[in-house]
Amino acid sequence: MNRLFRPLLTQSFKSTGVYLLLIALILAISATTALKFSNEQIQNAVALQAAEMLAGDLVLSDNAPIEQRWKDQANTLGLQQSEVTMFGSMAHTTDQFVMVNVKAIDASFPLRGALRVIPDAPQIQSGDVWLSQRAMDLLKVKIGDALNIADGRFKVTAKIDHDSNQELGFSGFSPTVIISKQDVAKTNAVQTGSRIEYRLLMAGSAKNIQQFEQHFKQIQHPEAKNKLVNDQVLDEQSSLRLRNASEGNTRLMKPIANLDTFLQLANILTILLCGIAIALTSQRYVQQNQDHIALMRCIGASKQQILWAYLALLATVFAIAMFIGSVFGIGLGFALLQLMLQLIPHLDVQFSASAMLFGPLPIAMLTSAVVLLGFVLPSLWQLLNTPPIRVIRQQEKSVKSMLWMLLAGTASLVFFSAVLTENLVLTAWVMGAIIGLCLILYFVVWALLKFIRNLKSGISAYVRTPYQTAFQITALALGLSLITVLAVLRTDLLERWQQQLPAGTPNQFVYGLPPFDMPEFKQQLEAHQWKGTPLYPNIRGRLVAKNDQPFSAQLVQQNNSLRRELNLTQSTTYPTDNKIISGTATFSQSGEVSVEAKTATELGIKIGDRLTFSLPEGLLQAKVVNLRSVEWESFSPNFFFIFSPHSMDENAGSYLGSFYVPDAEKLKLIELIQQFSNTVFIDVSLILDEIKRIVSLLVQIVTILAVLVALSGILVLVACLNLLMDERKREVALLRSFGSSKQKLKRMLSMEIGFIGLIAGVVSCLFAEVISAIASYKMDLIIQPHWEIWLILPVLMTVVCALIGRYRLSYLSDIPPLQSLREMNQ
């Protein structure tokens, strides 16, 4: 084998094919390594950003003090801890009385994010109180003033500038004041029957956080209810609850979930782009070496000797690519993270060479090696089994050989796409759609080209090998479409996030508005021209039966909506972001109800069922007339159940709604709050600002990733076009030897390559639409056509390919034909 390997190695590095193969392999290793490593770091960083709004990675909350066993478990796992007590109380000065939300913290709060006050202070001291801006405005106090909270007297020492612990909920209504945890007792505000929430915040490594969650679920599993666990009986109605960042901030986690899907899709597309590059370059490399294989066969070399010699050659090429690709991959990963830190200063990412060396890099190397073998071995094996005389005559590759090559290479791509993304469902959807489209469109393009060739017209001269040209068009279209998909999805994501937080998004919630105050309150909003949602009657009630049958104990245990009181309302219209999925959209009489679709599925509720609710004034029965989808991430009131008008007594409850107040008119809002002192006003502007900041961060990340993958795709397109042109070099040399003029050659190449570019552009549009539709479905985005790409891509590809065909090979016309033919065999 050594006698074959040395000349084969020397000959290979004299040709261009091996260098293109090296570039493709280096691109595959470096791009997939850097992208996967960056994705992991971004996911961790964004998860930390989400945890900031919870002030920790986990929050264990209860209406009773947190049991010591949970703290001991957190200590065992090495988790940081902070204890917070939340309760409502009356804050007052000599002249002002305001109901406030009191947050009592310890010295370690917060575990994630930052608590900033003005003037700056490292931690709160006993006897001090920090106030939000709204609390200071309502109480009309300033720094240094005295303030009473229930029976305790405090000194105002700072204004809260930023609190990382921003959660949206009626239990966390503003205005907020912060005191030291050791001062809770002196307020005497916590009495029997008081509404109070005890929180244990925890933070640590992802592994330890997950272990605590698993431990909690094992003990709190529904099957363990009313059983002895750690010598204690777990109460079925226990208020103990564990939340992570995703559960604590559903409005924030939806964009983050979309980003995660986008990252995984970027991984899949990068692998595909690199796979295309390896496939095309490896095939060209094998074709360039078919004469050498025939020569070795003629001088007596066996198939096994040639096979092992080529495998050794491929191993050498791969070793070189592995070394260079590793260096480039680590460098690219570091550069990408540094770029993100420059553009996104708030992003908390850390570069670790060891994490890359023992994480993404080995997977990228194995992926590239298997993809290389998958695309090379079938063609190599076919050449080894071809008689030398047929190889020398350079017979066209058989369709069977191409199919085996594509099947082996595609199988390796699918497998490693699933490994790299760790998302089997998304990989199956995307890869399945791409493979199916490639097969369908290949045969459609092949049939079209064959039909054109059989026409025997002027254009038929530009179609010589339909099956090979169809393969080139499909590959070119696939590479172009994969770049287009990320650009399209980025635009769709931006539109979706902007739609979630448009200008004028309600930043104030009103809750508990008495019915007799409702008309005057509406007049005040209209007078100030503060636009908002309708004011909905809010009546508390429990769902107790379906079709006169109580829900099973198991279902009650599994579904929280059956174990608590719900906010019920009645209205002639639905919230603007609700959509009717099934049933009639309008109510026809009283005693009808619309149900949120997911809740209906969980409880087995269908259209036509009769539901029974327990209200303060008695039982209420209503017939289900439709099911609705609800955007819980929106900053508008939403309900599980909406009744037809006159089904309930609106005076039995209160009203709730949301509205927008410009920053310049916040002082007017203070006057409104003082006028309606029995109503709770919830300021969500800080949460809106935080979510807008995170969404802005996500937009920048998506842009950077799209550019990175696009650059990889452009390199693949260049390689694809170069290979396309390489296959026409011999034809140009032959035509020159027969006396064809430069102008005729340029016109021929422009027409042929431009025609291929036109078809590739049209096919790529279809590819991009289907793939983006699948990704949009997985990211819960609106599936919509993108007419602009149908106008841009075909024209762009036609012009680009025509120009390349006209000028890329024009230098060949200046080279003597004999020299060109000799170069083609080198």
Instruction: Report how far residue 543's alpha carbon sits from residue 566's, in angstroms, rounded to the nearest whole number.
Output: 8
Instruction: Report how far residue 324's alpha carbon sits from residue 321's, in angstroms, rounded to the nearest whole number.
Output: 5
- Whole-number pLDDT of residue 719: 63
Radius of gyration of the chain (CA): 34
DSSP 532: B
The answer, yes or no, to whether residue 762 has pLDDT greater than 70, is yes
Query: Which residues, at least 6 apart from 675, have a Cβ–Cβ distance to it below 8 Å?
Result: 524
- Whole-number pLDDT of residue 233: 34
How open is the CA angle 302-308-312, to the nearest 5 degrees?
145
What average pLDDT does range 489-518 have in this prediction?
Answer: 76
Residue 645: exposure state from Cβ atoms within 10 A (0-12, 13-18, ≥19):
middle
What average pLDDT does range 354-382 have in this prediction?
Answer: 72
Q: Bigger pLDDT: 333 or 570?
A: 570
pLDDT tens for residues 378-416? 767 766 766 666 555 555 555 555 565 566 666 766 766
Q: How far is CA 382 from CA 213, 319, 398, in A?
A: 55, 25, 9
pLDDT band at 313 (very low <50, low <70, confident <90, very high): confident
The answer, yes or no, to whether residue 716 has pLDDT greater than 70, is no
> What ranges do the domains of the chain cover?
2-48+253-499+692-824, 54-248, 508-683
Q: Encoding tokens for residue 442?
A: 């290949």
Instruction: Report how far residue 769's alpha carbon sits from residue 776's, in angstroms, rounded to the nearest whole number.
Output: 10
pLDDT tens for residues 607-643? 999 999 998 888 999 999 999 988 776 767 889 999 9
Q: Is the Cα dihedral 395, 397, 398, 404 positive or negative?
A: positive
Give the number of C-alpha atoms closer than 13 A to the C-alpha of residue 101, restricted to the C-beta side.
19
The answer, yes or no, to whether residue 152 has pLDDT greater than 80, is yes
Cβ atoms of 721 and 809 within 8 Å: the answer is no
Tell me, rounded to whole angstroms, the distance of Cα 270 from its chain centroid. 16
Q: Which of 43, 56, 254, 252 is nearest to 686 (CA)?
A: 252
Q: Which of 814, 819, 815, 808 is nearest to 727 (CA)?
A: 808
Q: Which of 391, 252, 369 is nearest to 320 (CA)?
A: 369
- Whole-number pLDDT of residue 605: 92
Categorise residue 154: left if φ over 0, alpha if ψ from -120 to 50, beta otherwise: beta
Cβ atoms of 593 and 602 within 8 Å: the answer is no
Which of 226-240, 315-329, 484-498, 788-802 shows the lowest mean pLDDT across its residues?
A: 226-240
Instruction: Specify the residue for token string 């009650």.
Output: 556
pLDDT band at 87 (very low <50, low <70, confident <90, very high): confident
Categorise residue 12: left if φ over 0, alpha if ψ from -120 to 50, beta otherwise: alpha
Tell me, rounded to whole angstroms, the distance of Cα 21 from its chain centroid. 33
What does pLDDT average to over the chain? 76
Q: Is the Cα dihedral 650, 655, 658, 664 positive or negative?
A: positive
- Whole-number pLDDT of residue 730: 66
Which one-letter amino acid corresponds to residue 263? L
Q: Which of 335, 25, 30, 51 is nearest to 206 (CA)?
A: 51
Q: How far is CA 572 from CA 436, 599, 634, 656, 700, in A?
A: 47, 21, 20, 16, 42
- Whole-number pLDDT of residue 234: 36
What average pLDDT does range 674-694 have in this prediction?
Answer: 74
The answer, yes or no, to whether residue 757 has pLDDT greater than 70, is yes
Which of 81-85, 277-281, 329-333, 361-365 shows the lowest mean pLDDT across its residues?
A: 277-281
Q: Which of 567, 538, 547, 544 is nearest to 614 (CA)?
A: 544
The answer, yes or no, to whether residue 755 has pLDDT greater than 60, is yes
DSSP 153: E
pLDDT band at 155 (very low <50, low <70, confident <90, very high): very high
Cβ atoms of 716 and 278 within 8 Å: the answer is no
- Whole-number pLDDT of residue 440: 83
Q: Which of 306, 57, 174, 69 is nearest to 681 (CA)?
A: 174
pLDDT tens for residues 577-586? 888 999 988 8
Percent of the chain at pLDDT exceeding 70: 67
pLDDT band at 355 (very low <50, low <70, confident <90, very high): low
Q: Encoding tokens for residue 775?
A: 């990704």
What average pLDDT does range 125-143 have in this prediction?
Answer: 89
- Whole-number pLDDT of residue 226: 39
Cβ atoms of 87 and 64 within 8 Å: the answer is no
pLDDT band at 497 (very low <50, low <70, confident <90, very high): low
Q: Which residues of 231-244 are buried (b: 16+ CB within 10 A; e: fewer)?
A: eeebeeeeebbbbb
The answer, yes or no, to whether residue 601 has pLDDT greater than 50, is yes
Render 602-668 in DSSP notation, one character per residue. HHT--TT-EEEEEETTEEEEEEEEEEEE--TTSSS---SEEEPTTSS-GGGSEEEEEE---GGGHHH
Instruction: Report how far residue 385's alpha carbon sits from residue 403's, in angstroms, rounded to the nearest whole number.
Output: 16
Residue 669: exposure state from Cβ atoms within 10 A (0-12, 13-18, ≥19):
buried
Helix (H) or strand (E) holding 160: strand 152-163
What average pLDDT does range 637-652 have in this prediction?
Answer: 88
Instruction: Report how far residue 77's alpha carbon sits from residue 88's, in angstroms, rounded to the nearest whole number.
Output: 33
Which of 168-182, 387-401, 664-678 shows the lowest mean pLDDT across its residues?
A: 387-401
What average pLDDT does range 320-339 have in this prediction?
Answer: 79
What average pLDDT does range 548-577 have in this prediction?
Answer: 85
Which one-letter amino acid corresponds to residue 84? V
Bridge partners (DSSP) of residue 90 are: 99
- Whole-number pLDDT of residue 363: 74
- Whole-number pLDDT of residue 721: 64
pLDDT band at 170 (very low <50, low <70, confident <90, very high): very low
- Whole-number pLDDT of residue 641: 94
Instruction: Report how far residue 357's alpha carbon sits from residue 407's, in angstroms, rounded to the nearest whole number.
Output: 31
- Whole-number pLDDT of residue 238: 56
Bridge pairing between strands 566-570 and 579-583? unpaired
- Whole-number pLDDT of residue 171: 43
- Whole-number pLDDT of residue 288: 66
Bridge pairing between strands 549-550 and 618-629? unpaired
Q: Encoding tokens for residue 641?
A: 């159940």
- Whole-number pLDDT of residue 71: 92
Cβ atoms of 364 and 329 within 8 Å: the answer is yes
Bridge partners (DSSP) of residue 301 are: none
Bridge partners (DSSP) of residue 386 are: none
Q: Bigger pLDDT: 370 or 122?
A: 122
Instruction: Report how far residue 102's alpha carbon sits from residue 297's, in angstroms, rounded to the nearest whole number.
Output: 87
Q: Encoding tokens for residue 94?
A: 């000599």
What average pLDDT does range 276-304 have in this prediction?
Answer: 70
The answer, yes or no, to whether residue 263 has pLDDT greater than 80, is no
Instruction: Report how far residue 366's alpha carbon sits from residue 817's, in angstroms, rounded to the nearest whole number.
Output: 43
Query: Which residues, at least 6 apart from 636, have a Cβ–Cβ distance to it below 8 Å?
Result: 506, 533, 575, 576, 577, 658
Which of 253-257, 485-489, 735-739 shows the lowest mean pLDDT across its residues?
A: 253-257
Bridge pairing between strands 566-570 and 641-643? parallel
Which of 113-127, 439-453, 607-621, 795-809 shows the lowest mean pLDDT across its residues?
A: 795-809
